[in-house]
Amino acid sequence: MITQPDLPKAPVGLFRSKGWQVAMIGLGTATAQLDTSVNIAFPSITRGFDLAIADIQWVVICYVLTYASLLLALGRVGDTVGHAIVFRIGLVWSAAALLLVGCSPSYGAMLVFRCLQGVGAALVLSCGVALVTSLYGEERRSRALGVYTMMMAFGLMLGPLLGGALTAIWNWPAVFWFRIPIAVAALLLLRGLPVSLPHRAGDRLDIVGGIALILGLVTMLLALNRLREFSAVWFALLSVAAFAAFAVRESRAAHPIIAVKILRLPGFALLNLVSVLANLAAFSVWLLVPYFLARVPGYALAWNGAILAAAAAGAVLAAPIAGRLVGRTISAERMAILGIVTIGAGLVLISAWTEETPTALRVAGLVVQGVGLGLFQLAYSDIVTAALPLRDRGVAGSLVLLTRTLGTVTAASIVLMLFEILQQDHSFLEAFQQTFQLAALLAFVAAGLLAFSSSRTVAS
């Protein structure tokens, strides 16, 4: 006979298992990754607030600028006060911000609340990698990163699928409100997360350095966004000045946000540049493929979303496999090179699309590109987390996400500008094909740079 006190034992054991905790961390991270659902709701938001189409960009800019500029600083906060604490605060903050965005009485209020949502996303994302890797230890770091990368890609994949259905039924607020119970569930079900490593006395956030870093990142992202305007020059100059002040401050700080000497490691700075270039090339898919699919007769909106999701599905498939192979069968550096080459191969396949291309071949090109991105992201995450000290794991995870964000923001400016220039003298299809050919070339160049850097490191 089972007595009443015996009943809670099973769920308690479940809550404290590593698999359950990783799943809940992934569920909490989904509150940020599922923001791809907002893109599908853009037409509904535009109609709801009677906006010009160009104005919708600020829904993205306010959110991305906020969380990208805060990632590194909040990663250091997590390293200082505890990753689990920051992650849980992020879940509470995100739930409140998502409620406010969905209830926005005006477009101006919506933009303010999107900034608040960006703060919540930064709190959650800055500590996700640190929490997952702390559960499995250094000897299984690459496998843990593979699972985490897969969960991140899974959120990106579900966003467009869920966004279209929710908007059709409940209008645009639904793409924000449906993530509130996700955040609450992750908060309530996360138990027994490991306590952060003890820190040295006096270890605290460098406030001045953090302000300089945030200012540098904000002005840099604005410069990229305003690339076609003269104001980009002023933003770029402000960014250079802020980053210079940050470098000087961090070189003298007792406990810097990120040690400047790390950037001087052989190939480390180049690796982060390559990450920006790889994500720039890969994000061209999310920018231009929806316009191509919209021109294909017989494709409904839901079908287009399912095809586009194939790009993220490739990363979902590849990341956990790569996590098991890195360090055992292949080095992280070679996996990163293989990933970028695979991204380029997928972009070449996409550049060959015509009106007659079968759907299966279109999906194949997207999956190949996604597989390459999953391989690269896993390998890049493993290299960065291995290069930084264990006590800086929050900063390491934040750096991975930051370079990814810089790549996507740069793509939004450069890829669209390039496509518009090409379309002035060519048809839509020709401009589409040429843009993806150039994106593939960029991926291959990035792979070459990384291979050259790796060969020099080995030689030295």
What pLDDT was estimated at residue 15?
55
User: Average pLDDT, stretch 7-32?
Assistant: 67
Whether 352 and 458 have beta carbons less than 8 Å apart is answered as: no
What pLDDT was estimated at residue 194?
58
Assigned token pair, 379: 């390998």
Q: What is the mean pLDDT of the chain?
A: 80
Domain map of the chain by residue range? 15-205, 259-460
What pLDDT was estimated at residue 447?
93
Do 259-460 and 15-205 have the same topology in CATH? yes
* Torsion of Cα atoms, 340 then 344 then 347 then 352, to 10°: -160
What pLDDT was estimated at residue 2?
36
Whether 437 and 422 have beta carbons less than 8 Å apart is answered as: no
pLDDT above 70 (res 332): yes
Whether 197 and 386 have beta carbons less than 8 Å apart is answered as: no
What pLDDT was estimated at residue 265?
65
Whether 184 and 94 have beta carbons less than 8 Å apart is answered as: no
> Domain 15-205 - what CATH class?
mainly alpha
Name the 3-class secondary structure at 326: strand
Q: In CATH, what is the architecture of 259-460?
A: Up-down Bundle (1.20)
* 331 contacts: CB under 8 Å, gap ≥ 6: none
From the list 376, 365, 412, 369, the residue with the least C-alpha distance to 149 is 376
d(CA 395, CA 127): 8
Instruction: For 180-229, write each residue's pLDDT tens digit.
Output: 999 999 888 877 665 555 454 455 666 777 788 788 888 887 887 777 78
Q: Which amino acid is at 420?
A: E
What pLDDT was estimated at residue 301?
62
pLDDT above 80 (res 368): yes
